Amino acid sequence: MLAELVDHVIGVDPDRDWITLAVVDAHTTGVVVEARFPATSDGYRDAVDMVDAHSRETERAWAIEGSASYGRGLAAMLSHLGEWVIEFGHPTRKAKDGAKSDVLDAIRAAREVLGRDRPAIPRSPDGMREAIRVHAVTRAAAVRARTAAINELKAIIITADESIRSGLRRLRTATQVAACARFRDRTNVPVEQRCTRAALRALARRVEHRDAEVDEHDRALKPLLDQAAPQLLAERGIGYVTAAEFYIAWSHPGRCHSEAPFARLGGTSPVAATSGLNQTRHRLNRGGDRQLNRALYLVAITKQRCDPATKTYTARRTADGKTDRETTRCIKRFIARRVWRLLEHPPTT
């Protein structure tokens, strides 16, 4: 446990403008000192200097809440300094009296981390992983905006005048978008039709703009992934988008000490659901990184459709009495194991 490895734990509760920290003694869980600093480079350095006065660098750990959001700046600086940084998620227990403040949150972060067997390691804040992440996140936002624009376009087509709807009703989505983008202003039609055509043209051009943005991010992701994880792309069913999600979740060697934590991170580990005489059932894991879980699911259904070995496995598990969801979960668990091994121990050739 962490209490056996360090003398002090520094709990940090960051927000947009300030970081609040508390130095906690690892043996007594008593608070040594509390402080508050601005969330700037100078503030981070002042925080480290203050902590240096009360603890030794080799005998302490930092428990940062939100190390991937407001605490990212501090976590990145501490990682560059060689400090032990631990990612603290949401507290597992609330204060009995309901008391809450930044200082209490910092103390709670330090004390809860002390009782954990395997402290969580933050994801890498820079390097290849960060380069892939920013493109993948922005691409996902562009896809969501494109989907919303298409839904609005189709909704307006449904309620449009028959003279407009009849020419668009039976077209495919891409053809509808192209046709609407070519609409021109007509002064010889009623005002409602003229405005409807203008709205459809604006939505279609928005869709085309998002398509171009998605293509731009795809072109940026390909060379990054070809360099970072070519072994993933060589696997059947794994493309650039899913490979990006796998790499972002994995982050760097050693973050997940084995395949089991990686599978749990992806929500593919079974959750025991036993009671009484029934001691063999499990339920699906609804936790973990849902983007990683989605990537595993996409690869699983692709393999079920295209991979002969996966087809054979699916038939065998179905014959054993497994439901479709349970069979897919088993395939996702295998994919998680395979992905972790390829990333943690890449082939030499």
Residue type, 333: R
Q: Is the pLDDT assigned to residue 279 strictly greater than 60?
A: no
Terminus-to-terminus CA distance in the chain, angstroms?
38
Q: Is the pLDDT assigned to residue 274 strictly greater than 80?
A: no
- The DSSP secondary structure of 51-93, one letter per residue, reads HHTTS-GGGEEEEEETTTTTTHHHHHHHHHTT--EEEE-S-SS
Q: Which has the higher per-residue pLDDT, 235 or 126?
A: 235
- pLDDT cut 70: percent of the chain above it: 94
Closest among 81, 98, 96, 109 to 13, alpha carbons compared: 109
Q: Is the pLDDT assigned to residue 83 strictly greater than 70?
A: yes
Rounded to the nearest 5 degrees, what angle is found at the Cα of 109, between the Cα atoms of 103 and 114? 135
Lowest mean pLDDT among 115-124, 260-269, 274-283, 339-348: 274-283
* DSSP character at residue 4: G
Q: Does domain 2-114 have CATH number 3.40.50.300?
A: no
* DSSP character at residue 119: P
Strand 8-14 to 60-65 pairing: parallel
Beta bridge partners of 229: none
Q: How many beta carbons lie within 10 A of that of residue 196, not counting itself?
A: 21
Strand 18-25 to 31-38 pairing: antiparallel
pLDDT for 97 equals: 62
Instruction: Write out pLDDT tens, residues 337-346.
Output: 999 999 999 8
Q: Which range, 82-91, 125-134, 233-242, is most confident?
A: 233-242
pLDDT for 58 equals: 85
Domain boundaries, the chain: 2-114, 127-228, 232-344
pLDDT for 88 equals: 86
Lowest mean pLDDT among 3-7, 23-27, 190-194, 277-281: 277-281
Instruction: Compute the radius of gyration of the chain from its Cα atoms.
Output: 26
* DSSP character at residue 274: -
pLDDT for 254 equals: 86
Find out whether 131 and 138 touch, Cβ atoms under 8 Å: no
pLDDT for 95 equals: 63
Residue 277 and residue 192: Cα distance in Å, rounded?
A: 68
Find out whether 256 and 265 touch, Cβ atoms under 8 Å: yes
